[in-house]
């Protein structure tokens, strides 16, 4: 179990966005449910075969923390459904992997308008770290990351932002692969062995663990402590405010 010294003995901190910094994971889960239930209902045989998307178990297992289109593929595959890939420009009513993903994004943008809130303990920790000279980054699969940071008024708290757009431009694999975290660390100029990753999704925790980061902190909001620990978290907290006394700058 990491000690206070372990928490203090890192040079940089890399944070996921949804569910770690902002209370937006629930918005994503609700948008996924509406989107997938529409697809599943169209494919039901009318004899009670419709089994809706579970916004807790299915969300955590198949889509949380992953790039949007990977989430579409992984969940639909779990239900034995294969769709044509389509194209990024597919309209949201087209039943392709990209069309379904774009439908979900439309719903997210509608629901996020005017309702982005932050977790106070998370913002307090980031400010404390920056006050003690520690660089910070946001590493998110979301292509709406910049808009969410701006709406939450926390853009200036981060030196580097690696989101879904950056991942696509740099040809980085999404979580649970460690690529986006490793890229963010390189942009900050620190080795993974001198940096901490903070995640609320098992896929993101697995990415931090696979990247060889010095400390992987799980935040148990939707996923359980057990699930985050199994994925490779060194430390699990219910809220990042719990780290204020142990973190640099305390």
Residue 62 per-residue DSSP state = I
Over residues 149-191, the pLDDT tens digits come to 988 999 999 999 999 999 999 999 999 999 999 999 999 999 9
How far is the C-alpha of 167 from the C-alpha of 180, rounded, in Å? 7
How far is the C-alpha of 184 from the C-alpha of 199, rounded, in Å? 14
DSSP letters of 201-246?
SHHHHHHHHHTT-SEEEEE-SSS-HHHHHHHT-SEEESSGGGGTTT
Residues known to be catalytic? 16, 18
User: Exposed/middle/buried for 52, CB within 10 Å: 0-12, 13-18, 19+?
Assistant: exposed
Read off the tokens for 103.
Answer: 């439908």
pLDDT at 47: 56
Q: Can you list the residues of the chain whose pLDDT is less than 50? A: none
CATH number at 4-24+116-243: 3.40.50.1000
> Are 100 and 107 contacting, i.e. CB atoms less than 8 angstroms apart?
no
Over residues 204-228, the pLDDT tens digits come to 999 999 999 999 999 999 899 999 9
The model carries a pTM of: 0.81
Domain ranges of the chain: 4-24+116-243, 26-112
pLDDT at 49: 76
């Amino acid at each position: 179990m990491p000690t206070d010294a372990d928490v203090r003995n890192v040079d940089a901190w890399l944070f996921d966005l949804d569910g770690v910094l902002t209370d937006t994971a629930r918005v994503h889960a609700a948008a996924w449910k509406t989107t997938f239930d529409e697809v599943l209902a169209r494919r039901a045989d009318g004899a009670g075969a419709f089994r809706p998307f579970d916004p807790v178990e299915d969300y955590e297992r198949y889509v949380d923390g992953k790039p949007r289109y990977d989430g579409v593929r992984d969940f639909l595959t779990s239900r034995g459904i294969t769709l044509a890939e389509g194209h990024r420009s597919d309209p949201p009513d087209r039943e392709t992997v990209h069309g379904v993903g774009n439908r979900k994004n439309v719903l997210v943008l509608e629901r996020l308008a005017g309702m982005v809130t932050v977790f106070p303990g998370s913002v307090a920790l980031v400010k404390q770290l920056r006050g003690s000279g520690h660089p910070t980054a946001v590493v998110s699969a979301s292509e709406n990351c910049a808009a969410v940071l701006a709406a939450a008024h926390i853009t200036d708290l981060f030196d580097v932002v690696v989101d879904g757009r950056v991942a696509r431009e740099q040809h980085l694999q999404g979580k649970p692969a460690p690529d986006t975290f490793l890229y963010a660390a390189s942009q900050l100029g620190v080795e993974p062995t001198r940096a901490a990753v903070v995640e609320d999704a098992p896929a993101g925790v697995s990415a931090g663990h696979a990247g060889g980061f010095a400390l992987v902190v799980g935040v148990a909001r939707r996923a359980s402590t057990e699930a985050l620990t199994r994925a490779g978290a060194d430390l699990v907290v219910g809220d990042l405010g719990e780290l204020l006394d142990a973190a640099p700058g305390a």
